[in-house]
């Protein structure tokens, strides 16, 4: 019998017993739907986090002064030794990374890094215009720092090289802060305006030269009506207020050349600064990157998805057993039909193929329904989490193939039982 005829017979049998077929497919639908929904949510969260990290410089390497681990501490209960810190200490100005170190670092790694991001935090404050307030975090940065921020201006201009070299008190504020201050989206109205930021008992004066678009980080950072945004100024201006020499940390943007391995580069940077800090008994320089954080997140999400998918697989197993059960019932009900076909010359192979295809069609329909429900549920969940929806195409293909595999596996025994029936016994079956 041709494949098309077998499929037609399978569909006719399913339609003749709609409710029974639906209940049989329920385990397949729940199992496939659960796996697809879980993988879709996992993909959406991971991709959204990856996109956010990329916009923030996921391949950047952070270099910072951290406290050294102290002597090993022995546990009385287990007898094991652990390295830890007795008292938390923070680096002082004498422990900071100096400009001379950074210049030497720049020369040694010139071909492997794109630029260095240097910044100095002044602190948090509030700026006011006509009784309207906006909360800001004041940060000064060099040319490299502004390259790394990749700000999109909606009004005005960037902070230029001349302003950087002169350490001028010019600034960029967010469109959110500009709207709070001016009461409208007329961002040009704030350009050239002199602002004063109040932080405790200190006052800082700036001239606005540009307004940047505040990126909405969605589920990662959220927001509220009085959120604090960043006011960017020149590095020289910030240093003139803090009077701090050196840097407790800075960021390195590596070149996009794929031959530069991030992990190897981090290791070499570590070795470079160990030369300066090997005599410092309290502090050392450590490196980290968002890339490694993203890798860890992806691995964690994959493990969680796998664990929950295994649990959802139990529903598929139950569904497969249900398919086997319903096929045995169907064969019992159609014993005379099988006997008639065999009497007319149908081979054992054609009988076996007929019922295997019927089981596979049953599971395929259940799998497709599960895919539709799973994708819909995953997209809805991703929307609730404010994540960009990314359905897992591979999991959809795998799920459909797996559902057909279940039909083949659990349909073989009933189909083989039908194929081995004695035609005489089948014809006389009541």
**Residue 254 to residue 234: CA distance in whole angstroms:** 23
Hey, where are the domains in the chain?
A: 3-53+295-427, 63-289
CA-closest candidate to residue 233, choices 269, 209, 201, 198? 209
pLDDT tens digit sequence for 231-276: 999 999 999 999 999 999 988 887 666 567 778 888 899 999 999 9
pLDDT of residue 124: 94
The answer to whether residues 351 and 338 touch, using CB atoms and an 8 Å cutoff, is yes
CA atoms within 13 A on the CB side of 3: 2
pLDDT of residue 65: 93
**Residue 295 to residue 302: CA distance in whole angstroms:** 11
Q: Which residues of the chain have pLDDT under 50?
A: 72-75, 78, 218-223
pLDDT tens digit sequence for 42-64: 777 777 766 665 555 556 888 99
Buried b vs exposed e over 89-98: b needs ≥16 C-beta within 10 Å?
eebeeebbbe
pLDDT of residue 74: 47
Host H or E run for residue 63: strand 61-67
**Residue 179 to residue 158: CA distance in whole angstroms:** 19
Beta bridge partners of 156: 210
CA atoms within 13 A on the CB side of 159: 33
**Residue 404 to residue 408: CA distance in whole angstroms:** 6
Q: How many residues does the chain have?
A: 430
Beta-carbon count within 10 A of 271 CB: 9
Strands (E), 75-199: 81-83, 113-117, 119-129, 132-141, 153-156, 170-174, 194-199
**Residue 195 to residue 199: CA distance in whole angstroms:** 13
Q: Taking the chain, what is the end-to-end CA distance rounded to the nearest angstrom?
A: 26
The answer to whether residues 381 and 3 touch, using CB atoms and an 8 Å cutoff, is no
């Amino acid at each position: 019998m041709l494949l098309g005829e077998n499929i037609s017979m399978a569909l006719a049998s399913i339609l003749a017993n709609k409710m029974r077929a639906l209940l049989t497919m329920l385990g397949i639908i729940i199992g496939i739907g659960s796996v697809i929904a879980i993988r879709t949510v996992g993909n959406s969260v991971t991709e959204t986090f990856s996109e956010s990290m990329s916009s923030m410089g996921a391949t950047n390497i952070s270099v910072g002064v951290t406290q050294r681990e102290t002597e090993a501490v022995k546990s009385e209960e287990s007898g094991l030794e652990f390295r830890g810190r007795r008292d938390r200490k923070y680096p002082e100005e004498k422990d900071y990374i100096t400009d001379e170190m950074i210049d030497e670092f720049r020369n040694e790694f010139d071909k492997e890094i794109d630029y260095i991001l240097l910044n100095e935090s002044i602190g948090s404050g509030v700026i006011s215009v006509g009784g309207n307030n906006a909360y800001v975090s004041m940060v000064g940065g060099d040319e490299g720092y502004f390259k790394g921020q990749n700000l999109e201006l909606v009004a005005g201009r960037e902070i230029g090289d001349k302003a950087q070299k002169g350490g001028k008190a010019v600034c960029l504020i967010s469109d959110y802060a500009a709207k709070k201050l001016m009461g409208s989206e007329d961002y040009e109205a704030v350009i050239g305006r002199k602002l004063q930021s109040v932080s405790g008992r200190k006052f800082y004066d700036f001239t606005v030269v540009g307004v940047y678009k505040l990126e909405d980080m969605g589920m990662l950072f959220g927001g509220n009506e009085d959120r604090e945004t960043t006011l960017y100024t020149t590095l020289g201006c910030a240093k003139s207020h803090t009077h701090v020499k050196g840097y407790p940390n800075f960021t390195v943007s590596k070149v996009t050349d794929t031959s530069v391995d991030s992990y190897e580069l981090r290791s070499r940077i570590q070795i470079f600064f160990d030369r300066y800090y090997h005599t410092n008994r309290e502090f050392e320089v450590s490196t980290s990157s968002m890339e490694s954080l993203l890798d860890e997140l992806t691995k964690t999400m994959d493990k969680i998805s796998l664990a929950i998918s295994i649990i959802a697989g139990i529903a598929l197993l139950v569904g497969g057993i249900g398919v086997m059960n319903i096929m045995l019932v169907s064969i019992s009900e159609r014993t005379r039909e099988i006997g008639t076909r065999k009497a007319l010359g149908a081979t054992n192979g054609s009988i076996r193929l007929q019922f295997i295809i019927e089981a596979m069609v049953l599971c395929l329909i259940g799998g497709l329904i599960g895919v539709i429900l799973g994708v819909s549920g995953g997209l809805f969940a991703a929307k609730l989490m404010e994540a960009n929806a990314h359905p897992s195409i591979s999991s959809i293909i795998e799920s459909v193939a797996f559902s057909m595999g279940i039909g083949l596996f659990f349909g073989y025994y009933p189909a083989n039982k039908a194929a081995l029936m004695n035609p005489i016994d089948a014809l006389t079956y009541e």
